Amino acid sequence: MIIQERRGVFAPLLKKKARPIRPPYALSLEFFDQVCFTCKDKACSTVCEETIIFIDEDGLPKLDFKESGCTFCKECAKACIHGVLDSSKEDFIDAKVTISSAKCLAWNGTMCFTCKDSCEANAIEFFGVYRPVIKDNCTACGFCKSPCPVDAIEIKGVKGV
């Protein structure tokens, strides 16, 4: 009874955890939960030259694009000897990339093409001069995130296969 009352008091304060962005080349996203926490070497994170793979509090690898992005070099997949990553899979990160129209300079009337200039895949299209949107060919590599002067690029993990 006491526990229920406490839960009732604190429930509105509990925030839903954002889904982490996992490394590319996963055979199944479920393998991260099932295998990585027992992995001793965490080799995927140590070989990544872009240093975007970090180990989270559960012992699982997750990507952070604050400083850089994924070049799809496949080194993480080659280093994983535990069957979680497979370098023969496509160059793709299971994440959703969006541009916040509230934060974006262009959407608010200031000319800015910084994100487009940093996207090698040419996956950012401008409708007119002021309306950038992410196209379907986005690989979620993350290279557009850090150059944005107002942090308008949002990249969130999604549930995949």
- Comparing CA positions, the residue from 104, 98, 89, 118 lying closest to residue 158 is 98
Instruction: Tell me the two tokens of residue 127.
Output: 């409708």
Which residues sit at the interface with ligand SF4, rule CB under 6 A? 23-24, 35-36, 39, 42-44, 47-48, 50, 52-53, 61, 70-76, 80, 82, 84-85, 97, 118-119, 121, 123-124, 134, 138-144
Question: Residue 50 carries which side chain, given as an amino acid letter?
Answer: E
**Smallest gap from residue 38 Cβ to ligand SF4 (A):** 8
Burial profile 120-156: b = 16 or more Cβ within 10 angstroms, e = fewer: eeebbeeeeeeebebeeebbbbbbbbeebeeebbebe
**Smallest gap from residue 42 Cβ to ligand SF4 (A):** 5
Closer CB to ligand SF4, 6 or 120, in the complex: 120
Closer CB to ligand SF4, 84 or 152, in the complex: 84
**Smallest gap from residue 16 Cβ to ligand SF4 (A):** 23
